A and B are shown apart, each in its own frame.
Chain A
Amino acid sequence: MKRRSIQNDPIGTPERDRGAVIVQNFALDITKAAPVAPALKGQPKPKPESKK
């Protein structure tokens, strides 16, 4: 399956776009972020993130 980032589809067509939110342009290295767990059925609401 193709990566979303190189797709042209109803959700997004980068070449036909003036100004999608560019969150990655702030110094956030997502590959160093802690992974998030998938939600399980009946799982309680997640707690707010701890900001250390």
Chain B
Amino acid sequence: MTQAFQSPGFAALAAGRAVETRLVEERWQAVAWDLGTDRRRVVTDRPGGVHLSEIEPDGDAIWWFDADSDERGRWRREPFAGGPDGEALHGVPAGRPYGVAFDRTGALAAVAVGVDGASHCYVGPPAGEARLIGSAPGYLSLADLSPDGRLLALGGRPDGDDAVLLWRTDGGPAVSAAGGGGLRLWPIEFNPLAVHDPELLLVVEEEERYTVATWRADTGLRRYPGLSFDAQISAGWYRGPRGVLIQHERAGRSRLLLAELDPSPVVRELGTPGGTIHDLSCAPDGTLHCVWSRESTPPRPLVLRPEERAEAGTEARTGAAVRSGPDPDHPGLDLDGTSRGRRWTPRPYGRIHSFVSTPPGRGPWPTLFLVHGGPATHDRDSYDPRVNILVGHGYAVVRTNYRGSTGYGTRWQHEYDYRVGLAQIEDLAAVRAELVADGTALADRTGLCGFSWGGYLTLLAMGVQPDLWSLGMAAQPIADYPATYRGTTPALRALDRQLFGGSPEEVPERYRAADPRSYVHRVRSPVLLVVSRDDERCPPEQVARYAADLRRLAVPHELLRVDGGHYSRRTADHRSVLAAMVRFAGQAWPTPPAPPHRPPRGDRPGGTAQPMEGGEQP
């Protein structure tokens, strides 16, 4: 999600029926799409929007997750053609959505939910009573239900004892495959054509490679060394008993490959324009429906028919670069004069990759680092409306894939000696120094803007490197790491234990070194803090305490409270936050060097600046 543009979900046994998550009056809602008539019916009208939807394999009904702003809720179900909606499975408690799956015909459904720090998995007939199959502490994601409905595949921590769990729905003994010792495992999905002998597709990470693998009861785990990659992949079964589709994410770009697993893997790369595949799904006829974008192009559908257009693909060796699209090493120029380029900053431990967008004309410019969160994601050659808006207001915008980012191999993601936060802001500082030296960035006007874990890095850098950054804007951030650990979700606690090598009780010195509150007394430049009232991932109270610290220290700051949880599903919420950031940056750096131009429609921050709660104006 890691980026949530959604392609349609298709009914495997009803070729003309699909579900979409579509923007309806500025909220995302579930929509039933009849491909035969090309008619769409809006299924939901939830005030907070809907971000997860599914369709039963026989196309009888649409499912959607009916969540509150704290991300908790229940799956609901409504007939595809319309009619009263109701609970999709009766007896399942409200919780966080940890996965949904169906057997081959849709006679049996499975859901996993997170409740009170534990994961619970239920099965039952759609609209019928659910049966609890199993529970476990912490976070387990439901990967799939086997075609015969007898086996559930769940994923825990990829390097843990619960990396892959196989639970029998009849209550029989469970099977597990453990990670650890440098091995990480992700269960993906069961082979839909292996009806009586379930075969699970997995991704294995070991020895700095990501490899496609399968599991069967009689053969165990089988790796396919011919399908091994140097950066993150995902995979899915595709057309035929041995066909697999692979998505490879490397250095900010996506590519798609088709392979036959047996007798020996033959790989064919599908021709896709250079950029990012945000989401993809497969229709029953084999057509691939992708959502694609690149830096200069807003997201749009990309439909691929691999069997009809085999000539469009290129034979590829695994690990080869995508050849189509603009040359990623040469800057491009948009029609509005925005320049977009890539930068590789050399360091002893590797090269730091950044995407740099600059306004028309010559620099140096006031420069904002738009710091990605996660941290297990990366900035890509993909459209980001925030970049356009900020460049339109005269700022150079830098998106840096610091250590810890995905897309550059396992060492880049994991090896920084548990120096959480500190290693990442060192990388940001290195890129900043290079941009100042080459005349891109104004030395006294470089700032940080981040959301969530990117907001955390923003606050940490404002205290650790106060001489470098003259502005910090952090939305839904971690401001007090130990407090966030205690208040956040089980999945994120597990992530933090992985990042730090333990809990705050086990390695307190690492958390203290990584905690923005440890350095708040050194902050002196203006800070904008945005918190959401129902945010369980980064709770608001710990940010409010950081704001109180700033107030006590007389640091110019502002605290903006918003609704919608950690990920609001209302576009207006995001526009208002960005509008506040643009206003705050304009006040902190009061003389923008270039008049703003109007960004494209749909990118404009909505409304005028609103009065903010609490804090002082910078």
**Which residue numbers of A lie inside 8 Å of B, CB to CB?**
1-31, 33-41, 43, 45-46, 48-51
Shortest C-beta distance, B355 to chain A (Å), equals 12
- By beta carbon, the residue of chain B nearest A29 is B23
**Residue contact B602 to A17, C-beta cutoff 8 Å:** no
**Residue contact B372 to A26, C-beta cutoff 8 Å:** no
**Residue contact A16 to B291, C-beta cutoff 8 Å:** no
Shortest C-beta distance, B560 to chain A (Å), equals 16
Q: Which of A3, A18, A22, A30 has the most CB of B within 10 A?
A: A18
**Cross-chain contact of B98 among A15, A20, A26, A30 (Cβ < 8 A):** A15
A-B contact pairs, 19 of them (CB 8 A): A2-B144, A3-B7, A5-B1, A11-B247, A12-B376, A16-B139, A16-B495, A17-B374, A19-B451, A20-B374, A21-B3, A25-B571, A26-B603, A33-B300, A34-B300, A38-B272, A38-B312, A49-B296, A51-B600
**Cross-chain contact of B492 among A18, A20, A29 (Cβ < 8 A):** A18
**Known contacts A5-B1, A8-B99, A16-B376: A28-B299 contact under CB 8 Å:** yes
**Known contacts A26-B385, A30-B300: A4-B372 contact under CB 8 Å:** no
Shortest C-beta distance, B318 to chain A (Å), equals 15
How far, in angstroms, from A1 to B243 measured CA to CA in the complex? 11
**Residue contact B270 to A38, C-beta cutoff 8 Å:** yes
How far, in angstroms, from A51 to B385 measured CA to CA in the complex? 14
- By beta carbon, the residue of chain A nearest B273 is A39
The 5 closest A-B pairs by CB, nearest first: A19-B373, A19-B452, A12-B2, A1-B236, A39-B324
Indicate the size class of the contact surface on chain B. 35 or more
**Known contacts A1-B238, A15-B489: A23-B5 contact under CB 8 Å:** yes
**Residue contact A14 to B4, C-beta cutoff 8 Å:** yes
Q: Which of A6, A8, A19 has the most CB of B within 10 A?
A: A19
**Residue contact B373 to A11, C-beta cutoff 8 Å:** no
**Known contacts A3-B279, A50-B335: A14-B1 contact under CB 8 Å:** yes
Residues of B within 8 A of A49 (CB): 296-298, 334-335
How far, in angstroms, from A31 to B121 measured CA to CA in the complex? 33
**Residue contact A3 to B9, C-beta cutoff 8 Å:** yes
**Residue contact A38 to B376, C-beta cutoff 8 Å:** no
Residues of B within 8 A of A31 (CB): 20, 22-23, 301
**Cross-chain contact of B372 among A10, A15, A19 (Cβ < 8 A):** A19
**Cross-chain contact of B203 among A9, A41, A43 (Cβ < 8 A):** A9
**Residue contact B232 to A11, C-beta cutoff 8 Å:** yes
- By beta carbon, the residue of chain B nearest A43 is B324
How far, in angstroms, from A22 to B568 measured CA to CA in the complex? 9
**Residue contact A4 to B280, C-beta cutoff 8 Å:** yes
- By beta carbon, the residue of chain B nearest A3 is B281
**Residue contact B28 to A11, C-beta cutoff 8 Å:** no
